[in-house]
Amino acid sequence: MNELKASEKVTQKMTHDGAVAENLATGEVTNISSREAEVDLSAEQEPVTTAAAAAEHIARAHDRRKAKKAANAQADTVREGSAVRQRPSSRLKFTEEERASPDLQKAIRRSDRAADKLDAAKEAIPTKKVLKTERIFDEAAGKGKTRLRFEDVEKKPNGHLRHNPLSRPVQELKATAHGEVRKVEHENVGVEAGHKGEELVERGAARAVGGVRTAVREHRMKPWRDAVKAENASIKANAEFLYQKALHDDPALAASNPVSRFLQKKRIQRNYAKEIRQAEKTAKKTAAATKSAAQKAKDAFKETFVYVKNHSRVVLLIIGIGACVGLLFGGMSSCSIMGGSGVSGVFMTSYLSEDADMLAAEAAYADLEAKLQDELDNYETYYPGYDEYRFDLDEIGHDPYVLISILSALHEGVFTIGEVQSELQTLFDRQYTLTQTVTVEVRYRTETDTWTDEDGNTHTDTYEVPYDYYICNVTLENFDLSHLPVYMMDEEQLSLYAAYMSTLGNRPDLFGGGEYPNASTLQEPTYYDIPPEALEDETFAAMIAEAEKYLGYPYVWGGSSPSTSFDCSGFVSWVINHSGWNVGRLGAQGLYNICTPVSSSQAKPGDLIFFKGTYDTPGVSHVGIYVGGGMMIHCGSPISYTSINTNYWQAHYFSFGRLP
| pLDDT tens-digit readout, 355-408 | 999 999 999 999 999 999 999 999 999 999 999 999 999 999 999 999 999 999
Of the candidates 428, 434, 379, which has an alpha carbon nearest to the alpha carbon of residue 403? 428
Which pLDDT does position 605 carry in this prediction?
A: 94
Mean pLDDT of the chain: 76
SS (H, E, C) 322-365: HHHHHHHHCCCCCCCCCCCCHHHHHHHCCCCCCHHHHHHHHHHH
DSSP 8-state secondary structure symbol assigned to residue 256:
S
Task: Name the pLDDT band for 612 (thresholds 50, 70, 90).
Answer: very high
Maximum CA extent, the chain: 165
Task: Name the pLDDT band for 214 (thresholds 50, 70, 90).
Answer: low
Does residue 468 contact residue 440 with C-beta atoms inside 8 Å? yes
Which pLDDT does position 452 carry in this prediction?
A: 87
Collapsing DSSP to helix, strand or coil, 205 comes out as helix
Task: Name the pLDDT band for 572 (thresholds 50, 70, 90).
Answer: very high
Orientation angle between helical segments 286-310 and 312-329, nearest 10 degrees: 90
Which pLDDT does position 331 carry in this prediction?
A: 36
Which pLDDT does position 166 carry in this prediction?
A: 42
Task: Name the pLDDT band for 12 (thresholds 50, 70, 90).
Answer: confident
Q: Among the ranges 30-44, 69-83, 323-337, 506-520, which has the highest mean pLDDT value?
A: 506-520
Identity of the residue numbered 417: I
Which pLDDT does position 143 carry in this prediction?
A: 62
Which pLDDT does position 593 carry in this prediction?
A: 94
Which pLDDT does position 176 carry in this prediction?
A: 54
Q: Among the ranges 62-71, 113-122, 340-349, 418-427, which has the highest mean pLDDT value?
A: 418-427
Q: Among the ranges 40-44, 108-112, 236-240, which has the highest mean pLDDT value?
A: 108-112
| CA dihedral over 101, 103, 105, 108, signed as positive or negative | negative
Span 449-484, pLDDT tens digits: 888 888 888 888 888 889 999 999 999 999 999 999
More confident residue, 569 or 618: 569
Spatial separation of the C-alpha atoms in residues 635 and 28, rounded to whole Å: 116
551, with CB counted inside 10 A (0-12, 13-18, 19+), is buried
Spatial separation of the C-alpha atoms in residues 559 and 494, rounded to whole Å: 8
Q: Among the ranges 214-228, 285-299, 345-359, 533-547, which has the highest mean pLDDT value?
A: 533-547
Of the candidates 205, 211, 209, 268, which has an alpha carbon nearest to the alpha carbon of residue 241? 268
Task: Name the pLDDT band for 303 (thresholds 50, 70, 90).
Answer: very low
List, in sequence order, every beta strand (DSSP E) within 376-452: 388-393, 432-452
pLDDT at 156 over 80: no
* Span of 131-145, 187-201, 365-379 with lowest mean pLDDT: 187-201
Helix (H) or strand (E) holding 658: strand 653-658
Contacts of 493 (CB under 8 A, 6+ apart): 409, 410, 485
DSSP secondary structure string for all residues of 552-616: TPPB-TT-EETTTEE-HHHHHHHHHHTTT----S--HHHHHHHSEEE-TTT--TT-EEEEESSSS
Mean pLDDT of 565-585: 93
Residues 322-340, buried b or exposed e (16+ Cβ, 10 A)? beebeeebeeeeebbbbbb
Helix (H) or strand (E) holding 281: helix 258-282
Span 323-353, pLDDT tens digits: 444 444 433 333 334 434 444 556 678 898 9
- For residue 560, give Cα distances in angstroms to 332, 400, 491, 492, 640: 21, 24, 11, 13, 16
Spatial separation of the C-alpha atoms in residues 562 and 502, rounded to whole Å: 12
